[in-house]
């Protein structure tokens, strides 16, 4: 419900900027709505024990404007926010694991799918695949200049943020190193032919380690890193990611 409302409102604000309620204008409002909706895909599914609820996290990390947006759209569906106000704080997001541990591991899944790219190659892959690449440039500008980023295709059980296509556009999972050294998860849509043309450059042991790391929904993703970076660096606000 919130995802549908968010997409409709973003489209409306893009075509009718004068309808914005945010004091900084329609682009600021679009960014805030996108922040709310970023982690909501799959939020209506039952959560395994110990995993946080993405809607609760969105509420607890929101400012007054975001909370009023959530409250208004839940109220339209006859839902109060008491359950959000009473919810315990979720565990903090952490950088994704890149190696299994004795307590957290799985049988390696498709180790051949992993490959590493440098920042220039990653940026080129994104630019070749995106029609709205200008909206992504802020993120690309904040990649670590000497970073090594890990790519693999999305697995069937993982959330599909946007349908595949047109052509060979597919969703990938990326472990991306940002300019402050933080490792984050991103889900770029890339052209499969461009990725397939890259050389396999990770040793077998490294690929097995990556493939043996089990999924963890508490990982720090690119959207949350961008929000935190913006809060810690108020002058770095020219971003639309």
Quick: pLDDT tens for 79-97: 888 888 887 766 667 888 8
Least confident range of 112-121, 158-167, 177-186: 158-167
> Does the pLDDT of residue 122 top 90, yes or no?
yes
Q: What is the 3-state secondary structure (H, E, C) of 166-229?
A: CCCEEEEEEEEEECCCCEEEECCEEEHHHHHCCCCCCCHHHHHHHHCCCCCCCECEHHHHHHHH
- Show me where the domains of the chain are located: 2-86, 111-232
Indicate whether 193 pLDDT > 90.
yes
Long-range contacts of 26-33 (CB under 8 A, 24+ apart): 27/240, 31/240, 32/65, 32/66, 32/69, 33/6, 33/9, 33/69
% of residues, the chain, pLDDT over 90? 32
Q: Mean pLDDT over residues 177-181, rounded? A: 94
- Cα(192)–Cα(169) distance, rounded to whole angstroms? 6
Residue 241 has pLDDT above 50, yes or no: no
**Phi/psi at 165 (5° precision):** 95, 175
Q: Which residue has the higher pLDDT, 202 or 27?
A: 202
Statement: residue 43 has pLDDT above 60: no
């Amino acid at each position: 419900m919130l995802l549908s409302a968010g997409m409709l409102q973003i489209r409306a604000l893009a075509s009718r900027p004068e309808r914005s309620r945010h004091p900084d204008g329609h682009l600021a409002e679009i960014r805030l709505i996108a922040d709310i909706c970023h982690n909501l895909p799959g939020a209506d599914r039952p959560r395994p024990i110990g995993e946080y609820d993405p809607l609760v996290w969105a509420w607890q990390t929101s400012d007054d404007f975001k909370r009023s947006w959530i409250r208004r759209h839940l109220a339209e569906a006859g839902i109060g926010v008491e359950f959000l106000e009473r919810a315990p704080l979720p565990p903090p997001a952490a950088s994704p694991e890149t190696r299994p541990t004795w307590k957290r591991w799985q049988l390696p899944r498709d180790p051949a799918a992993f490959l590493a790219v440098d920042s220039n190659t990653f940026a080129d892959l994104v630019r070749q695949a995106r029609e709205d690449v200008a909206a992504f440039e802020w993120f690309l500008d904040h990649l670590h200049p000497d970073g090594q980023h890990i790519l693999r295709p999305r697995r069937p059980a993982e959330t599909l943020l946007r349908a595949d296509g047109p052509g060979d556009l597919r969703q990938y999972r990326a472990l991306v190193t940002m300019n402050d050294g933080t490792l984050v998860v991103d889900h770029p849509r890339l052209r499969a032919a461009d990725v397939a043309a890259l050389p396999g450059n990770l040793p077998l042991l490294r690929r097995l380690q990556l493939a043996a790391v089990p999924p963890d929904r508490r990982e720090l993703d690119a959207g949350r890193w961008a929000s935190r970076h913006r809060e810690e660096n108020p002058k770095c606000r020219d971003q639309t990611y």
